[in-house]
Amino acid sequence: MKGGMVPTWLELLLATQFFTICTNHLSSTRNECNLFCIDCEESKGAFCYYCRSRHHSTHRVIQIRRSSYHDVVRVAELKDILDISDVQTYVINSATVVFLNERPQHRGCGVSAIKASLSSYNCEICNRALLDPFRFCSLGCNLKESKRI
């Protein structure tokens, strides 16, 4: 998101609550809302596997996943549609991912404080310790920086 060019769908993606049960498919399996369409102008947020088949079969859809109760998306799904070069990536279950939003961190005590004090890299927005020389810990922090410019 260099140069302040923010896709219109990104803010909605970051504000969307995922992993709820789809109200249109209550009795179906795979009815968890963990998909997001970046092509729909009037997108209503998250939807399930069955909604994709019915309403988004020809659209660009990304799947949101969970890691330690935080939403992530695979880099492979974003790399062609969004500049994420400044966002810390992680390998989780053999997939390279980025976190959607800033994750809370406990300051001043415990392992988090030790990691932060030993880290050479920190998120420019929330100051979270980073593993590698990136500027941001999540897409949300990257967006906040883009809006400040």
Per-residue pLDDT of the chain (149 residues; tens, 9 = 90+): 655 578 989 999 999 999 999 998 999 988 999 999 998 866 678 999 998 888 788 889 999 999 989 999 999 999 999 999 999 999 999 999 999 999 887 665 545 555 555 668 999 999 999 999 999 999 999 999 988 76
Cα dihedral across residues 53, 69, 21, 93: positive or negative: positive
46 contacts 38 by C-beta, under 8 angstroms: no
Burial label for 113, CB within 10 Å (0-12, 13-18, 19+), is middle
Cβ pair 126, 88 in contact under 8 A = no
What are the tokens at 14? 């970051």
What DSSP character marks residue 4? G
Tell me how far the alpha carbon of residue 72 is from its chain's centroid. 5
**Domain-by-domain residue ranges, the chain?**
2-148
